[in-house]
Amino acid sequence: MKVDVLLGLQWGDEGKGKIVDVLTPQYDIIARFQGGPNAGHTLEFEGIKHVLHTIPSGIFREGVINLVGNGVVIDPVIFQKELEKLAPFKIDIKSRLLISKKAHLILPTHRLLDAASENAKGKNKIGSTLKGIGPTYMDKTGRNGLRVGDIFSPNFKEKYDSLVEKHVGILKHYEGFEYNLVELEGPWMEGIETLRQLPAVDSEHYLNAAIKSGKKILAEGAQGTMLDIDFGTYPFVTSSNTVTAGTCTGLGVAPNKIGKVIGIFKAYCTRVGSGPFPTELNDEVGELIRKEGHEFGATTGRPRRCGWIDIPQLKYAIMINGVTELSMMKADVLGCFESIKACTHYIINGEKVDYFPFDINDTEVTPVYEELPGWNCDLTQLTELDQAPKSLTDYVKYLEQKLEVPITVVSVGPDRKQTLTKEVPQVI
Ligand code: GDP
Ligand code: IMO
Ligand code: MG
């Protein structure tokens, strides 16, 4: 079997957690391949809302293994809190959750470095979630990092102390930055103890053996394509490869083992944190989308910036990821509009372009919109796409034509059940 991939095509928070949970019964293994607790993946069923940060979104389904891959960075403190939140649901974590020995650890000093670095950037802040993501990946590529496998080593404490010493040296350069490391270290060491109780595996071997034996695997992305370290709106990005290629390096799965690539996007667009966002609406329309969509960060609670859908941006993301099918999320949120807009082009330096340019941080990008009829009704009770208002099915067809990829899921609410599906057509 091949490994299917589900990932975000915009700036994150597209609804990955919900769709992974919906698709999990079709799979044997759900594997996160990058990112860390900067992610907040929300699932809703039986009237309960769950937010996961490090643990894959298949954890609530029986008989499915959830694997935290080598490309993920783990904060033991946040991880332990996630486990504690799951405790009331009586999930047998030890039989359902595996962690790669090669996943890197976020140290308390990584979080401090993240905060100090953001502080020093002043108005050029990335708007990081301050979970220590950047500094941890920097130590990974700088060949200084600590990995899950190291916690079983007799000289783990020595390795930890040596890295902390290095970090403390760097922190001295941030004048006026105060911190209390001892306070942070206690819970961190407790978290390490918890991690030691869980099965740490050579996940690349585990997954490749699973592929060979015909197991079905879904790779769960975090963040979104426009936050990718190489292809996103650099430098306002995260520090990992959020794209399909990240599955290969983040799980140890070869490119020829990748199957379907499910790209997920909102019927509009959001972004949280700093950085360019061509279709952002700084007006009452953007405000209304934020209100209707409850667009506040699942990890930080920050208000998300909102705007219309951006077709050149989505085309770019589809190209980079090799998307084979699409899920359109939060169609219900646009239910309050008589008409909606889709950005088809940009005007840059007086020229009309339909591709995503190299750098839009210092260049003025004016979106060109096409206005389309809205559905102007409540979609949340819909159970079949055939019963959807024509303006919604027309919007789906319009996007399929522009994006040249079939939309197989239309989501009309946060609950598992509020998910409309359609077969992949032979020809679009
Ligand atoms: P993720 O990071 O991609 O998993 O997405 P988040 O969980 O950060 O954000 C998506 C938010 O939208 C969550 O609060 C979900 O419960 C919610 N959501 C997902 N799908 C839908 C939908 O179709 N309609 C509505 N109204 N909310 C949705
Ligand atoms: P999920 O998986 C939305 C954003 C931050 C910031 C930038 C860098 O829930 O979609 P970092 O903490 O990685 O240094 O932050 O990336 N960001 C996200 N935005 N959803 C996420 O994850 C995000 N993870 C990071 O807001 O702008
Ligand atoms: Mg999220």
- pLDDT tens per residue, range 129-145: 999 999 999 999 999 99
Q: What is the mean pLDDT of residues 280-288?
A: 97
In this prediction, residue 156 carries a pLDDT of 98
Separation of 314 CA from ligand 1 center, angstroms?
18
Separation of 326 CA from ligand 3 center, angstroms?
18
pLDDT digits (tens, 9 = 90+) for 168-214: 999 999 999 999 999 999 999 999 999 999 999 999 999 999 999 99
In this prediction, residue 363 carries a pLDDT of 83
Q: Flag the least confident range among 247-261, 284-298, 412-426.
A: 412-426
Query: Using a 6 Å cutoff on CB, does residue 18 contact ligand 1?
Result: yes
Query: Using a 6 Å cutoff on CB, does residue 115 contact ligand 2?
Result: no
In this prediction, residue 398 carries a pLDDT of 98
In this prediction, residue 428 carries a pLDDT of 46
0.75 cut: is pTM over it? yes
Ligand nearest to the CA of 34: 2
Round the average pLDDT of the chain to a whole number and report it: 96
Query: Using a 6 Å cutoff on CB, does residue 133 contact ligand 2?
Result: yes
- Catalytic residue check, 41: yes
Quick one: pLDDT band at residue 425, thresholds 50, 70, 90?
Answer: low
Taking CA atoms only, the protein residue closest to ligand 2 atom 20 is 12
Q: What is the mean pLDDT of residues 79-85?
A: 97
In this prediction, residue 357 carries a pLDDT of 84
Instruction: Look up residue 191 and give its two tokens.
Output: 């978290």
Q: What amino acid occupies position 188?
A: W
- Catalytic residue check, 13: yes
Q: What is the mean pLDDT of residues 90-119?
A: 96
CA angle 382, 334, 295 (to 5 degrees): 105
Instruction: Count Cβ atoms within 10 A of the Cβ of residue 85 and give its class: 0-12 exposed, 13-18 middle, 19 or more buried.
Output: middle
CA 129 to ligand 2: nearest atom: 12
Whole-number Å distance between alpha carbons of 362 and 365: 9
For the chain, the three-class secondary structure string (H helix, E strand, C coil) is: CCEEEEEECCCCCCCHHHHHHHHHHHCCEEEECCECCCCCEEEEECCEEEEECCCCCCCCCCCCEEEECCCEEECHHHHHHHHHHHHHHCCCHHHHEEEECCCEECCHHHHHHHHHHHHHHHHHCCCCCCCCHHHHHHHHHCCCCCEHHHHHCCCHHHHHHHHHHHHHHHHCCCCCCCCCHHHHHHHHHHHHHHHHCCCEECHHHHHHHHHHCCCCEEEECCCCHHHCCCCCCCCCCCCCCCCHHHHHHHHCCCHHHEEEEEEEEECCEEECCCCCCCCECCCHHHHHHHHHCCCECCCCCCECEEECEEHHHHHHHHHHHCCCEEEEECHHHHHHCCEEEEEEEEEECCEEECCCCCCCCCCCEEEEEEEEECCCCCCCCCCCHHHCCHHHHHHHHHHHHHHCCCEEEEECCCECCCEEECCCCCCC
Query: Using a 6 Å cutoff on CB, does residue 135 contact ligand 2?
Result: no
Query: Using a 6 Å cutoff on CB, does residue 17 contact ligand 1?
Result: yes
Separation of 5 CA from ligand 2 center, angstroms?
19
Quick one: pLDDT band at residue 300, thresholds 50, 70, 90?
Answer: confident
Q: Is the pLDDT of residue 16 over 50?
A: yes
Q: What is the mean pLDDT of residues 152-179?
A: 96
Q: What is the mean pLDDT of residues 317-332?
A: 98
Among 4, 13, 21, 332, the one annotated catalytic = 13
Query: Using a 6 Å cutoff on CB, does residue 242 contact ligand 2?
Result: no
pLDDT digits (tens, 9 = 90+) for 21-57: 999 999 999 999 999 999 999 999 999 999 999 999 9
pLDDT digits (tens, 9 = 90+) for 340-384: 999 999 999 899 998 888 878 788 899 999 999 999 999 999 999
In this prediction, residue 80 carries a pLDDT of 97
Q: Is the pLDDT of residue 426 over 70?
A: no
